[in-house]
Structure formats: C-alpha cells, structure tokens
Chain A
Amino acid sequence: MAEEVILLDTWVSPFGMRARIALAEKGIKHEHREEDLGNKSDLLLKMNPIHKTIPVLIHNGKPVCESNNIVQYLDEVWPDKSPLLPSDPYLRGQARFWADFVDRKVFDAGRKVWATKGEEQKSLMEEFIGHLKTLEAELDGKLYFGGEKMGYVDVTMVPIYSWFHAYEVSGNFSFESHCPKLVAWAERCMQHDSVSKALPSPEKVYQYVLQLRKRLGIE
C-alpha cells in the first residue's frame, strides 16, 4: 500500500520545522501544505480539533499532533534511516528530557520575548539566554546533542536558530558573545540539507516578527 503522508504547517513555525527536518532526514515522501492561521483549513480543524495548531502529520488519513510527538512517531515508523532517538532506554529518557527542556524553557521564554518590551523584555531575554547556556553546557564538547550525528534534541532545538537574527537585531546583542559553542553547533547542523532547507531565511523571519509586534500593538 502506498504511504500517504501530509504535513500541515506554516513556514515560520519552529515546531513545523522540526517535522520538516525529520521527514527530510528520513527521506519520507510527503505533501507539504501551508496553512493560513488566520483562516484555518477544514482539514486542520478536523485533524486537530483540540488545539487547532500546526504542525499536524496525517499518515494514511490518521493525524499525529504536536511536533515532538510527530518526530517520535516518524522515528518509530521509519526507524532504519537516520534514527533520531537512541536505542538505550536511559539515553532515550535523557534525550526526551532535553527535548522537553527545549519546549518548556527555551522556546517558551523565546516566545514571550516577542510579546513584551522595555524592562520586561530585557528580563525575558536574560532568561532565554540563561536557558541557552544550560543547553550549551549539556552539549559539553559533543558535535551534536545526539553525539556523532544529529538526533532528537538537535531536531527539536535547531529551528530556533532561524529566529536568532531577529532576536539579535531587536535586542541589540549577539548570541555568539553569550553562547559561542551553541552557535557553532547550529551552524554545524545547517550543513545538513535537511536542516538548511527546512529553516526559512533569518531576514524573512525578522520581517515577520516586525509585523507580528505591530499586530500585537507593541511597536
């Protein structure tokens, strides 16, 4: 039976990028559909009625929601090419722990930065950088969080790199000066086609952020 794989996504979403990277790493043929979140498709509302968010992976008509779920699902259904999670249960637990940290700490702080300004924003940026430093320490001289090759945590984290330029311009600082090893890691990941093709241009992301802040009434 031919596999039918559809990804509902939006170009700027770091969560969508995770799914894109995993699909590319595993060479999975799929149809990519761009959603307009201001006018969500019937398919999206049907496939993710609870959260109504992207990304949603639809495999042979059945939906998988939440980006980290999608990446784990792809890894379990297509385990042979580019395995993302380790086979040892303890190391899997560690990988999941750090992916959860990326979601609940890194991405969460990073997201809140855009909804604020002035002192509040400055303090959130500091928090964001603090979490990046924690991650950098976890990298601890390895090429990737996955070890010799990219793995689950790399796929979860690297999408935010496309947003770095926007943070740097808005906050008038450079990530290089705070967490150079993390920046080097991100650039190493970008050498992979699966990553460089999944991430949008930083300038495009920056323009998006400016529009977003105007819409939120912050700028």
Chain B
Amino acid sequence: MAKEIKLLGTWASPFSHRIELALKLKGLQFQYLEEDLSNKSQLLLQSNPVHKKIPVLIHNGNPISESLLIMEYIDETWQHQNPLLPKDPYGRAAARFWAKFIDEKVLWTAFKAYNDKGKEQEDAIEEFSQQLKFLEEELKGKEYFGGERFGFVDIASFFILQFLRVLQEVKEAELMTEEKYPVLFEWMEKLQGNEVVAGCLPPREKHVAYVRARRAAAEEAASKTKAA
C-alpha cells in the first residue's frame, strides 16, 4: 500500500518543526505544504475543522492534528526506527507530563515574561525562572531528557526553547542565559550540532526578523485598541 504522508506546517512554527524532525528521524518521505495562516487552505480547513491550526499530518488521506498527538501517532505507526517514546508505561507517562508542561505552562509563562509589563511581567519572570529550573533539574545527569538518546521530550522542548531564544533576542531580554541554566544550554548546543535536528530549524536571522515584525504588529494593534 502506498504510504502517502503530507505535513501542513509553517516555516516559523516550533510546533511544525517538531513534526518535521519526527518524520525525518523515522526516515519517512513526506510532502511538506507551507500554509499561509492569513489565508488558510481548503485542505487545512477540511483536515482540522475544529481548531484550523497547523501542524496537521495527513497519512493516506487521514488527518491528525495537535503536534504532541501527531508525534505519538508517528511513533506508534512507524515503530521500526528511532523510537520517540520509551516502551515502559511509567516512562511514557513521564514523557507526556514533561511535554505538556512545556506546551501548557512554560510557553505561555514565557510569553508573559517577555511581552507583558509591570507586575504581571514581574510575576511571569519569576514563574518562568522556576519552570526553567525544573527543566534544568530534570535534565541534570542525563545526556538528553530521553536518557541516552534524544526522544519525545527533547523534540517537544528543543524547538520551543529555540523559539523563545529568538523572542528573547527580539525583546533584548536576558531571561534564559547559559550562566543561569548551563545544563539546558549544553543540551541545546548538543542538539544544534546534530545535522538532522539543525536541518529543521529556520535560518536564525530570518526567524528573528519575522518574530520582530509580528511583535511590532501585535504591539501596534494593542495600542490602537487602547486609543480607540
């Protein structure tokens, strides 16, 4: 049976990068379709009618959405190489826990820490720092979150943290530093040095310019709303 795999994604999205890497690690051929989120394709709207978001994986015409769920699907469907999740249920539960922690806590706290103002920002900075400490502790003494080899949590967190470093550069902030989080930085460098992983990252300057432009647009829109 012909295996047809399509990935609907965007070049700047860390969620999209996760899936690109997962597919490449499994040695899978796939067709990548770049979405314009200001003008979503019919295919995207049909494939993810509930959320209308990328990434979406379409395998033999069947769509799967939500990046962490797509990663689990890829891992369960193509078990032959580079397992992403451990086999034991406890390890799997732990991996799901950390990936969810990144998506539901770290990312949103980081946005507030970089973008908000006043007390809200102060509180978020404090919380973000605590979250990074938890990650640093979890990684200590291990090569990767996944142990000897990188896996689900590494893939989930690497692209998000890289994205946050881009945001950090745009905002000229110093919340994530090698000084404060040496273990995390060493791990990021290790992954950046891996050709397959690095191949899924967009060119740094292009990413910074893009995030800078989007932040400027968001801030302008917010000040217009205030003035109105």
Chain A residues within 8 Å of B, Cβ to Cβ: 50, 59, 62, 64-66, 69-70, 72-73, 76-77, 89-90, 92-94, 96-97, 100-101, 134
* 10 nearest A-B residue pairs (beta carbon): A76-B89, A89-B76, A93-B73, A73-B93, A64-B93, A89-B77, A93-B64, A69-B93, A96-B69, A77-B89
| Residue among B73, B93, B96, B97 making CB contact with A89, cutoff 8 Å | B73
Q: List 7 A-B contacts (CB under 8 A).
A: A64-B93, A66-B97, A72-B92, A73-B90, A97-B69, A101-B50, A134-B50
Nearest CB to that of B51 among chain A residues?
A101
* Contact B66 A100, beta carbon cutoff 8 Å: yes
CB-defined contacts of A100 to chain B, threshold 8 Å: 66, 69
* Contact A72 B93, beta carbon cutoff 8 Å: yes
* Contact A97 B64, beta carbon cutoff 8 Å: yes
CB-defined contacts of B62 to chain A, threshold 8 Å: 90
Chain B residues within 8 Å of A, Cβ to Cβ: 50, 59, 62, 64-66, 69-70, 72-73, 76-77, 89-90, 92-93, 96-97, 100-101, 134
Nearest CB to that of B138 among chain A residues?
A50
Nearest CB to that of A49 among chain B residues?
B134
- Shortest Cβ distance from B27 into chain A, in angstroms? 18
CA gap between A70 and B100 in the complex, in Å: 13
Nearest CB to that of A68 among chain B residues?
B96
| Residue among A50, A65, A66, A93 making CB contact with B72, cutoff 8 Å | A93
CB-defined contacts of B70 to chain A, threshold 8 Å: 93
* Contact A66 B64, beta carbon cutoff 8 Å: no
CA gap between A77 and B90 in the complex, in Å: 9
Given known contacts A65-B97, A92-B76, A134-B50, A97 and B90 CB-to-CB distance under 8 angstroms: no
* Contact B73 A92, beta carbon cutoff 8 Å: yes
* Contact A62 B69, beta carbon cutoff 8 Å: no
- Shortest Cβ distance from A52 into chain B, in angstroms? 12
- Shortest Cβ distance from B214 into chain A, in angstroms? 23
CB-defined contacts of A59 to chain B, threshold 8 Å: 90
CB-defined contacts of A70 to chain B, threshold 8 Å: 93
- Shortest Cβ distance from B145 into chain A, in angstroms? 14
* Contact A62 B65, beta carbon cutoff 8 Å: no
Nearest CB to that of A96 among chain B residues?
B69
- Shortest Cβ distance from B86 into chain A, in angstroms? 11
- Shortest Cβ distance from A184 into chain B, in angstroms? 22
* Contact B134 A50, beta carbon cutoff 8 Å: yes
CB-defined contacts of A65 to chain B, threshold 8 Å: 97
* Contact A90 B97, beta carbon cutoff 8 Å: no
Nearest CB to that of A101 among chain B residues?
B50
CA gap between A69 and B90 in the complex, in Å: 10
* Contact B73 A64, beta carbon cutoff 8 Å: no
* Contact B96 A72, beta carbon cutoff 8 Å: yes
Given A69-B93, A90-B62, A92-B73; 15 other pairs, CB 8 A cutoff = A50-B134, A64-B90, A72-B92, A73-B93, A89-B77, A90-B64, A90-B73, A92-B72, A93-B72, A96-B66, A96-B72, A97-B64, A97-B65, A100-B66, A100-B69
- Shortest Cβ distance from A63 into chain B, in angstroms? 9
Nearest CB to that of B134 among chain A residues?
A50
